[in-house]
Structure 1
Amino acid sequence: MAGSERLICTSGEVQEGGDGVRFPLRTAFGDETGFVVRYRGEVRAYINRCAHVPVELDWQPGKFFDDSGLYLICATHGALYDPVGGHCLAGPCRGGRLPKLDVIERDGHIYLLEKTA
């Protein structure tokens, strides 16, 4: 299985524990959004879909972290997610997780790694 890279944003657009960057995504569920954030110096990306109810997490575009900048939070139900692996730590989705996306940061840019058949 081969793959391709799709530019999401510049590295400077994603600050540690700060706003994330949303991007369009085509999944088995149809048109959705993905998002990329920076946590502990690394970029992490997920499908923007709560594990409890399929709603987007951010209450305003790019607002994925709670006030502490330590957890991703669903604005609808308050579920808290671990930014490292996307596992739900508290709230109605406990035991669930965010669908992870593969990304790479290179030469000042962040790319989505897309798999193709």
Structure 2
Amino acid sequence: MAEDPNCLICASDAVLERGTAFRFEIPAEPRNLPAFVIRYQGKVYGYINACRHMPVQLDWREGEVFDLSGHFLICSLHGARYLPDSGLCIGGPCRGQRLLPLTTKEANGMIYYVKPITAPVRPNPESTE
């Protein structure tokens, strides 16, 4: 039986429009990756919680990733501003780069992280094994 690629993050009502981000971790080696989901214009978006300028988490206070206007995600360390719906940096030292997106799914009142499907490792054609 195949492993379910969907990992429950939280209930849909835990992520309010332009509100506090819901933080979670993605299992990874050698350590888990911090991540968050937000709701913007009615849709849920997920990103790795790391600024593209320096690998620091965006939020100074847990889940506070929107600027005061609610129109941009902002890095609390140096003020890089990102579009919530694409992760594109439109201001700051990493202008033109993007936050690393996550595939999310909202169904039956819950929000899920959809794990990427990795291709099977192909044997090396030059190998004698």
Determine the C-alpha separation between the residues in 2 that align with 1:93 and 1:29.
Answer: 26
Deviation sequence 1:30-59 (CA, Å, 0-9, x none):
322110000010000000000000000001
Q: Identical aligned pairs, as a percentage?
A: 45
SS in 2 for 1:38: strand
**Alpha-carbon spacing, 1:81–1:29, altered in 2? closer, same or farther (3 Å):** farther
Segment of structure 1 superposing worse, 25-34 or 103-112: 25-34
Determine the C-alpha separation between the residues in 2 that align with 1:81 and 1:93.
Answer: 10
State the one-letter code of the partner of 1:114: K
- Is the 1:3–1:116 contact (alpha carbons within 8 Å) kept by the matching residues of 2? no
| Count of aligned residue pairs for this structure pair | 116
Runs of 4+ in 1 over 4 A off after TM superposition: none
**Alpha-carbon spacing, 1:89–1:27, altered in 2? closer, same or farther (3 Å):** farther
Corresponding residue of 1:88: 89
**Residue 53, structure 1, aligned to residue 54, structure 2:** yes
Determine the C-alpha separation between the residues in 2 that align with 1:97 and 1:42.
Answer: 18
State the one-letter code of the partner of 1:32: L
Aligned pairs for 1:1-117 (under 5 A) are 4-27=5-28, 30-117=31-118
In terms of Rg, which structure is larger? 2
Q: Which stretches in structure 1 are left out of the alignment for 5+ residues? A: none
Determine the C-alpha separation between the residues in 1 that align with 2:30 and 2:49.
Answer: 12
Determine the C-alpha separation between the residues in 1 that align with 2:88 and 2:106.
Answer: 22
Q: CA RMSD in A?
A: 1.5
State the one-letter code of the partner of 2:13: G
Q: TM-score, normalised by structure 1?
A: 0.93
Corresponding residue of 2:126: none
